[in-house]
Chains A and B, each alone.
Chain A
Amino acid sequence: MEILDKITKSDYKYGFTTDIESDKAPNGINEDIIRLISSKKNEPEWMLQWRLEAFAIWQEMKEPEWANVTYKKPDFNAISYYSAPKSKKVLDSLDEVDPELLKTFAKLGISLDEQKRLSGVAIDIVVDSVSVKTTFKAKLAELGIIFCSMTEAIHEHPELVQKYLGRVVPRTDNFYAALNSAVFTDGSFCFIPKGVRCPMELSTYFRINESGTGQFERTLVIADEDSYVSYLEGCTAPMRDENQLHAAVVELFAMDGAEIKYSTVQNWYPGDVNGLGGVFNFVTKRGICERNAKISWTQVETGSAVTWKYPSCILKGENSVGEFYSVAVTNNYQQADTGTKMIHLGKNTKSTIISKGICAGKSNGSYRGLVKIGPRADNARNFSQCDSLLMGDGCGSHTFPYIEIANKSAQVEHEAATSKIGEDQLFYCNQRGIPTEEAIALIVNGYCKDVLSQLPMEFAVEAQKLLAVSLEGSVG
């Protein structure tokens, strides 16, 4: 009888900090700080001006309050907007990376060498605000693929950055996008030339290490005509009593016939069992599809105290396809308001939304999604499925679907189901020799199968483990 009652503590495995000297800007935000960030990064004048304009826009904006989350708004003057691991020179090989940092990655289970050798994943790592190392760059360069840190792209490929930065997520888009545009410190940049199929998964690893800092990374992925790329990002942060702010912007451009697969495994520190601490994850992600292009977002969201995130697709070109596959887990006092927007502008555009929410403890999970069919989008089709799985009776799950249709030929389907992990299911598993914790992992992974199967193989396994860890102790 008591099975579903007891909520106990689940441990955050990534909660260590690393003792690395870092170069940190004083707290607060103003024009001088933005100038400081820009000069630290030795940026060209156009970039500084772009930031300053964003800052001016941001000052006129109000923090959004429509999401189904409650939290104490961050004090934007108590945050340091720049923190870099202190090692001045440019790193050419892994041997030159700070050994403490390498140890951090080893704890995270991503030894760079191993990554390089075994998985064939090109990886860019952003600690606090600065990109530390991009592996495999030379190999990719042979194909004309550019995969580097945003800072490097600003210096090496200014024409591309200027052409695309802020074009899908304009600085005026929302409060956090404007803030990010003003103070972003690094991130990843990726360009796949015409007709090239990127032969390996590209991956970025984000980590907030320093206390009192925010992380504001900016990612730009451009897939030129008929190219293909699969991109994965992962995130962790140490355990801290304070709330850390993470406000990222990701922009994707899929040109005619191109395909971008963008996967996220987000495991920022979720706060402790009483809801103290944890990362505020306020992220804007959007992609634009030209003719016959496809963008597929897959996310496994297990971390963060508060999540506010809607990876979206603008289906501009004819026959373009948008997909959104999401698993969002909340436990203890976590809150997530997440979903997607599918904006159908072109003819014969198609979108699919599969969202799986899992709520345990005292947490709150919401799906919020918009399907918009424009007047010229003849024969547009959408299928949405939004399911929630509840564990125990202290949590809440909500669905906010918005559907706007301006074309009579549209076909839009929406399915939703809410279920509970039943004691019957657990007892059945127990009777077959499967202990309760393993049974929950099995049931949850089954429930998420449609989403997990979208992840690249090696990450699907990681994500399964992560789900099990996130829900550990959620059922007594």
Chain B
Amino acid sequence: MLHIKNLHASIEDNKILKGINLEVRPGEVHAIMGPNGSGKSTLSSVIAGREEYEVTEGSIEFLNEDLLSLSPEERAHAGIFLSFQYPVEIPGVSLTNFIKTSMNETRKAKGLEPYPAKDLLKKMRDCLELLEMDKGFLSRSLNEGFSGGEKKRNEIFQMALLEPKLAILDETDSGLDIDALRIVASGVNKLRSPKKSFVLITHYQRLLNYIEPDYVHVLFNGKIVRSGGKELAHELESKGYDWIKQELAEV
């Protein structure tokens, strides 16, 4: 589904990614872990198509298509969803209106008619329930005055509605208390299916207690330095990132 080959990317001449290789197949959940500044968020931004980042080498294919030639919205239409680490506020735009626009633009790109309002509303209610969110959310301005936990829940809520093929969750666990983490994780788990894939970007192992990954990768200094099963996450948690750094130094 997603093939990343020898990806190099930089921002304002700072090289951040220095040769990433990653393959995600349908239905898989990959966790990407790493210390601060290792390039985790850059990777998610580059996949989603943020313009500030320049890809200097390598390729990304998504469903056998060259992802790097697509605009951010075309990538979204193709089925890529990024749950933001810091979701933005858009004052005066209700969540309902935002989601309606988002879903209908996606349908328009596929040559489909707008979603019937009644069906959309029902779908929204179902997804609200999934994330234990209050109906009042729908009429609030997008992320305006939302707590950190509410913003993250809202990201997963949109993910549930948009039904992406590949969802990248960038530090979704940061700023969440235990209850919110449990709700978000159970939401994600309910959305897992053999056709959908997830990339979880996280600093801590905590999230992976709730969402069990198939693979864990350690990102360090712009490269994936180690890959393994979920036990790798436990090892990291007990030994800390210094362990990886030391090992690399020895090599």
Residues of A at the B interface (CB closer than 8 Å) are 1-3, 422-425, 427-436, 438, 442-443, 445-450
Contacts and interface: CB of A to CB of B under 8 A. Distances in A.
Given A427-B72, A438-B101, A433 B90 contact: no
Interface residues of B, number: 32
Given A428-B90, A443-B90, 5 more contacts: A432-B158, A433-B102, A434-B105, A446-B92, A450-B92
Nearest to A447: B92
Given A431-B48, A431-B82, A432-B162, A448 B76 contact: no
Interface stretch (B17-25, B49-57, B187-195, B207-215): B49-57
A2 B51 contact: yes
24 contacts: A1-B51, A422-B88, A425-B90, A427-B51, A429-B102, A430-B73, A431-B75, A431-B76, A431-B81, A432-B76, A432-B98, A432-B102, A432-B162, A433-B77, A433-B162, A434-B73, A434-B101, A434-B102, A435-B105, A436-B73, A443-B90, A446-B92, A446-B93, A449-B92
A430 B48 CA distance: 9
Interface string B102-126: 1101100100000000000000000
A430 B92 contact: no
Contacts of B229: none
Interface in B138-157: 141-142
B82 A430 contact: no
Contacts of A433: 73, 76-77, 102-103, 105-106, 109, 162
A386 to B, nearest CB: 15
Contacts of A432: 76, 98, 102, 158, 162
In this complex, the member of A433, A435, A443, A447 whose beta carbon has the largest number of chain B beta carbons within 10 angstroms is A433
A348 B222 CA distance: 66
In this complex, the member of A3, A432, A438, A442 whose beta carbon has the largest number of chain B beta carbons within 10 angstroms is A432
B137 interface: no
B76 A424 contact: no
B141 A446 contact: yes
Contacts of B240: none
Contacts of B51: 1-3, 423, 427
B93 A442 contact: yes
A41 to B, nearest CB: 46
B71 interface: yes
B84 A430 contact: no
A446 B88 contact: no
Grouping DSSP codes into helix (H, G, I), strand (E, B) and loop, the A interface class, with mixed when no group exceeds half, is helix
Nearest to A444: B92
Contacts of B48: 427, 431
Contacts of B105: 433-435, 438
A424 B106 contact: no
Interface of B: 48-52, 71-73, 75-77, 81-82, 84, 87-88, 90-93, 97-98, 101-103, 105-106, 109, 141-142, 158, 162
Contacts of B71: 430, 435
Nearest to A436: B73
Contacts of A448: 92
A431 B98 contact: no
A424 B93 contact: no
A427 B92 contact: no
Contact of B92 (A423, A428, A429, A445): A445
Contacts, number: 80
Contacts of B76: 430-433
A467 to B, nearest CB: 12
A428 to B, nearest CB: 5
A450 B50 CA distance: 32
A428 B75 CA distance: 13
Nearest to A2: B51
Contacts of B92: 445-450
Nearest to A453: B92
A428 B88 contact: yes
Contacts of B50: 427
In this complex, the member of A425, A428, A445 whose beta carbon has the largest number of chain B beta carbons within 10 angstroms is A428
B88 A425 contact: yes
A268 B81 CA distance: 42
A424 to B, nearest CB: 5
A296 B91 CA distance: 24
In this complex, the member of A2, A3, A424, A446 whose beta carbon has the largest number of chain B beta carbons within 10 angstroms is A446
Contacts of A442: 90, 93, 97-98, 101
A446 B82 CA distance: 23
A443 B101 contact: no
A172 to B, nearest CB: 42
B90 A431 contact: no
Nearest to A425: B88
Q: What are the 8 tightest A-B residue pairs by CB atom distance, in nearest-first order? A: A446-B92, A446-B93, A430-B72, A433-B76, A449-B92, A433-B106, A432-B102, A428-B88
A427 B81 CA distance: 12
Nearest to A417: B91
B172 to A, nearest CB: 15
Contact of B72 (A424, A431, A445, A446): A431
A396 B86 CA distance: 29
B102 A443 contact: no
Nearest to A356: B92
A424 B75 CA distance: 17
Nearest to B78: A433
B102 to A, nearest CB: 4
Nearest to B89: A425
B84 A428 contact: yes
Contacts of B88: 422, 424-425, 428
A434 to B, nearest CB: 5
Contact of B93 (A3, A430, A443): A443
A336 B48 CA distance: 39
A435 B91 contact: no
A89 B164 CA distance: 66
Contacts of B77: 433
A447 B91 contact: yes
